[in-house]
Amino acid sequence: MSEAELDRASDPLEVRGYCMYDWGKSAFETSVVSAIFPTWFAYLFLEANGLNTTIAGITMEGDALIAYLVALGTWAVAIVAPALGVIADYKPVKMTWLRTLTYVGAGATFMLGFDFLLPGNEWIWLLIFYFIANIGLNAAGVFYNALLPHLGTDDEMDDISNRAYAYGYLGGGLLLVVHLGLVLGVGGDAVIRFCLASSGVWWFGFALITFKYVPEPPMENDKQVPTIREAYSQVWTTLKEYNKFRTLFTYMLAYFFFIDAINTVWAVGPIFGAVVLGVTTTELMVTIVAIQFVAWPCALAFTKLANAWGTKKALNASLIGWLFLSFAILGFAPLELDSHEEFEVMYDWDEESQSYQVQVNPLASQIAQKLDFGDDEFDEQKWASDFSGMLPVEFDDKTNTYKWADGYDDSDDKLLFPVEGDVALILASISESRFSISVSGGPLDGSSDVGIDHPTSLGDGALDVIPETVREHVWEPLGIAIGMQFLILGCMIGTLFGGSQGLSRSIFGQMIPETRSTEFFGFFGFFGKVAAAVGPLLYATMTIMFDSRVGVLSIAVLIAIGVFLMRYVDIEQGRADARAEDAKNRGISTDS
């Protein structure tokens, strides 16, 4: 037997062109998905409908509607991707489909900036084009990833894959900084629309570099292109070829678990930060930017680590890092409220009128904008209504809900609202809530209370002894507030993010046959999309049964399973299986 030399060395120009696609598309993933779109859509939906709307007889809130449509598009792509991959492996259309789907995705992203063309129903315009953009992104990703094995030898996969991710973090991060500067510095509806549209231009513009320099992978033999039905039949046949690709399928199972955990951290991290830790929107945005700029060099550093240790050991190192991080997250906790100004609702004694005046902290969490509260929930709207004469609230006729009344007078002094009633009553009313109240001056001077669900309240959760201990011995002595804690956590995530994503794709690229790359990357995408649903479901279930920190701990279990399964992944055997399949499909004899 003689080894079939089927790989070719990389072309630096092709690799650079390949990486520029990541640079471009990351604008959608960072500026649009993570930063701007959720808040903008929520605002327009609320303006048009109030809290919810009815579609096909089902009443839904805006965030649920977005979640359902994105899930629908993602699953649709996941289901058809393997079959489309089979067809693309029989016909030289990988670049054609990548180009077409990029036009769809980037074009729809550009159109997000033109919602004003549907006045009164701008949210519908956004919903339609956001749905189309997500389909374009996910479907294009299958063909983009499938190009990886054709760009260089197996030994070059680590460098190419990690470099592409590094380009993505840097490109997406740079544009995000510009967009946040415009939104926070200039502001206004026109600026938001410009940021959304320019993300599509950024994606499309840098993708043109990819289209120019990355060629269509060659097809060695003419093959009859299968029909859709035949393609699905081939997918089923591939699934039954477990013994033929035993190492690859074992790796796909390990990948399912650990990528599930990593995606869950990214998906629920902002929610955990805002709800459990009390992180502000600004602090969240700063952390997202930091993740991009930390992940960029760390992705490249993991390439050097893979060269020194081997790809499998380097990936395992990143996964163990994720395992440690899953436990470390449990120790993050906001400092206990100390000064009067740190509380959300502040009562100040006015000597002239001999009465209390009230104001709300501009960083306070908004009163829940919903009308239906469960039996075990603190009804925030009823509370605001019952104490409307003692709280700085205003009633919104459009949504029939109360909101914080937060404003300044002409001299930029904080507005103080007069209080009608006994402040002692409202102090006693928040014990089961997520709010905090402090009193300064007057007969109740120094009085305060913090609700049991406030981020600083610890002690009632199954694992609260961990954050209590860390807060007492680390955060409070060092004076590290939750915003800085969350930034530290983000930097830890960024350190691991690039390496784990890039190396996991690299290993897969090394062990799949080049002649069936799109089909197998279709499976790769399918596993990733299924995992993206399972992890948050597990987190939500554990949170409902126990609390959010137990939900975080469940992520560690997924990573541990992935690390365990990686013990049975023999990359060299996987490479050999892929070479044998390529030799057979190309009609190359391996007999001496």
- pLDDT at residue 4 is higher than 50: no
* Nearest CA among 277, 164, 203 for reference residue 31: 203
Spatial contact of 360 and 404, defined as CB atoms under 8 Å apart: yes
Quickly state the pLDDT bin for 10 (edges 50, 70, 90). confident
pLDDT for 5 equals 43
Percentage of the chain beyond pLDDT 70 is: 91
Between 31 and 415, the higher pLDDT residue: 31
For residue 317 the two structure tokens come to 């190192």
Distance of CA 493 to the CA centre of its chain: 12
3-state secondary structure (DSSP) of residue 362: coil
285 shares its domain with 230 = no
Q: Please give the angle made by the CA atoms of 196, 200 and 205, to the nearest 5 degrees.
A: 140
- Could you tell me if residue 8 is inside a domain? no
518 shares its domain with 415 = no
127 shares its domain with 216 = yes
Between 236 and 497, the higher pLDDT residue: 497
189 shares its domain with 262 = no
* Nearest CA among 544, 553, 582, 504 for reference residue 157: 504
Domain range enclosing 308: 246-326+483-592
Least confident of 130-139, 361-370, 401-410: 401-410
Distance of CA 592 to the CA centre of its chain: 51
115 shares its domain with 259 = no
Region for 415 from its dihedrals, namely left if φ exceeds 0, alpha if ψ lies in -120 to 50, beta otherwise = beta
Quickly state the pLDDT bin for 325 (edges 50, 70, 90). very high
**What's the CA gap between 415 and 405, in Å, rounded?**
9
**Domain final residue pick, 240, 264, 283:** 240
- Could you tell me if residue 212 is inside a domain? yes
122 shares its domain with 102 = yes
Q: Tell me the pLDDT tens digit for each residue of 281-317.
A: 788 888 989 999 999 999 999 999 999 999 999 999 9
Mean pLDDT value across residues 9-21? 91
Look at the chain and report how many structural domains it folds into. Answer: 3
320 shares its domain with 356 = no
**Domain final residue pick, 435, 450, 465:** 450
The secondary element (H helix, E strand) that includes residue 60 is strand 58-61
pLDDT for 99 equals 96
pLDDT for 407 equals 60
Q: Tell me the pLDDT tens digit for each residue of 166-191.
A: 999 999 999 999 999 998 888 889 99
Residues 496, 499, 501, 504, CA torsion sign? negative
137 shares its domain with 100 = yes
- Could you tell me if residue 60 is inside a domain? yes
pLDDT for 121 equals 87
Q: Tell me the pLDDT tens digit for each residue of 100-133.
A: 999 999 999 999 999 999 988 898 999 899 999 9
- Could you tell me if residue 591 is inside a domain? yes
Between 176 and 44, the higher pLDDT residue: 176
pLDDT for 1 equals 34
- pLDDT at residue 2 is higher than 50: no
* Nearest CA among 549, 491, 548, 483 for reference residue 335: 483
Quickly state the pLDDT bin for 146 (edges 50, 70, 90). confident
**What's the CA gap between 104 and 98, in Å, rounded?**
10
* Nearest CA among 576, 494, 496, 509 for reference residue 158: 509
- Could you tell me if residue 404 is inside a domain? yes
Q: Tell me the pLDDT tens digit for each residue of 366-401.
A: 888 888 887 778 999 999 999 999 999 999 887 889
226 shares its domain with 91 = yes
Residues whose CB is less than 8 angstroms from the CB of residue 530 and which lie 6 or more positions away in sequence, other chains included: 78, 256
pLDDT for 241 equals 74
Task: Give the chain's mean pLDDT.
Answer: 85
pLDDT for 43 equals 79
* Nearest CA among 475, 525, 479 for reference residue 82: 525
Least confident of 23-32, 398-407, 516-525, 559-568: 516-525
Query: Radius of gyration (Cα) for the chain, nearest Å?
Result: 27
Q: Tell me the pLDDT tens digit for each residue of 198-220.
A: 999 999 999 999 999 999 887 76
pTM confidence score: 0.81
pLDDT for 411 equals 47
490 shares its domain with 383 = no
* Nearest CA among 62, 76, 218, 136 for reference residue 582: 218
pLDDT for 115 equals 94
**Per-residue H/E/C for 482-496:** HHHHHHHHHHHHHHH
DSSP notation for 273-327: IIIIS---HHHHHHHHHHHHHHHHHHHHHHHHHHHHH-HHHHHHHHHHHHHHHHH
Between 124 and 264, the higher pLDDT residue: 124
**Domain final residue pick, 209, 240, 271:** 240
Least confident of 459-473, 478-492, 574-588: 574-588
358 shares its domain with 309 = no
- Could you tell me if residue 98 is inside a domain? yes
pLDDT for 224 equals 67
235 shares its domain with 259 = no
Q: Please give the angle made by the CA atoms of 449, 451 and 455, to the nearest 5 degrees.
A: 115
* Nearest CA among 196, 224, 210, 172 for reference residue 23: 172
Query: Residue 121: which CATH number?
Result: 1.20.1250.20
**Bridge-based pairing state of the strands 417-418 and 58-61:** unpaired
- pLDDT at residue 3 is higher than 50: no
- Could you tell me if residue 134 is inside a domain? yes
- Could you tell me if residue 463 is inside a domain? no
| Highest mean pLDDT: which range of 66-70, 176-180, 511-515, 530-534 | 176-180
**Helices in 1-36 by DSSP H: which ranges?**
12-27
